A and B are shown apart, each in its own frame.
Chain A
Amino acid sequence: MYYQPEIETMPVDELRALQLTRMRESMRNAYENVPLFRERFDAAGVSPDDLESLEDLARFPFVVKQDMRDAYPFGMFARENKDVARIHASSGTTGQATVVGHTASDLANWGDCFARGIAMVGGSEDSTIQVSYGYGLFTGGLGAHAGGEAMGCTVIPTSSGNTKRQVQMMKDCKTDILACTPSYALLIADTAIEMGYDPATEFPISAVICGAEPASQNMKDEIAEKLGVQYCDVYGLSEIMGPGVAMECKERGGIHVAEDQFYCEIVDPETLEVLPDGEWGELVITTLVRECCPLIRYRTRDVTRIISEPCACGRTHRKIDYLRGRTDDMLIIRGVNVFPSQIEQVITEFPEIATQYQIILSNKGPLDRVELQVETVPEFPIDEVRKIEDLKSRLGAELKSNLQVAVEIKIVEPKTIERSMGKAKRVIDLREAKN
Chain B
Amino acid sequence: MISQLTVFLANERGRLAAACRTLADAGFNMHSLVLADTADFGVVRIFCDRPDEAASLLVDAGYRAAVTPVIAVRVPNEPGGLARLLEFCDEAGMNVEYGYCYSVGEDGAIDVLKIEGTDAEERLAAAGFAVVRAEEIYAA
Contacts and interface: CB of A to CB of B under 8 A. Distances in A.
Nearest to A412: B10
Contact of A415 (B38, B43, B62): B62
B6 A385 contact: no
A383 B64 contact: no
Interface string A372-408: 0001101001111110110000000000000000000
Contacts of B97: 384, 386
Interface in B55-73: 59, 62-66, 68
Interface string B31-44: 00000101011010
Contacts of B50: none
A388 B4 CA distance: 18
Contacts, number: 54
Contacts of A386: 97
A47 to B, nearest CB: 60
A375 B66 CA distance: 15
Contacts of B43: 382-385, 388
Say what secondary structure dominates the interface of chain A. Answer: loop
Interface residues of A, number: 18
B38 A382 contact: no
The residue among B8, B9, B10, B59 with the most chain A CB atoms within 10 A of its own CB is B8
A385 B11 CA distance: 13
Contacts of B7: 382
Contacts of A382: 6-8, 43, 64-66
Contacts of A414: 62-64
A416 B62 CA distance: 9
A412 B38 CA distance: 13
A413 B63 contact: yes
Max chain A Cβ within 10 angstroms of own Cβ: one of B6, B41, B62, B68? B41
Interface string A316-328: 0000000000000
B98 interface: yes
B87 to A, nearest CB: 22
Contacts of B10: 412-413, 416
Nearest to A371: B40
Contact of B62 (A384, A410, A413): A413
Contacts of A383: 4, 6, 43, 45, 66, 68, 114
Contacts of B65: 382
Counting chain B CB atoms within 10 Å of each CB, the highest count among A385, A386, A412 belongs to A385
Contacts of B64: 375-376, 378, 382, 413-414
Given A382-B43, A413-B9, A413-B63, A389 B38 contact: yes
Contacts of A413: 8-10, 15, 62-64
A388 B64 CA distance: 13
A388 B40 CA distance: 11
A416 B8 CA distance: 13
22 contacts: A375-B64, A381-B66, A382-B6, A382-B8, A382-B64, A383-B4, A383-B43, A383-B45, A384-B114, A385-B36, A385-B43, A388-B38, A388-B43, A410-B41, A411-B40, A412-B41, A413-B8, A413-B9, A413-B10, A413-B63, A414-B63, A415-B62
Nearest 5 pairs of A and B residues by beta carbon? A382-B8, A383-B68, A383-B6, A415-B62, A385-B36
Interface of A: 375-376, 378, 381-386, 388-389, 410-416
Given A375-B64, A388-B8, 18 more contacts: A376-B64, A378-B59, A378-B64, A382-B6, A382-B8, A383-B4, A383-B43, A383-B66, A383-B114, A384-B114, A385-B36, A385-B98, A411-B41, A412-B10, A413-B15, A413-B62, A413-B63, A416-B10
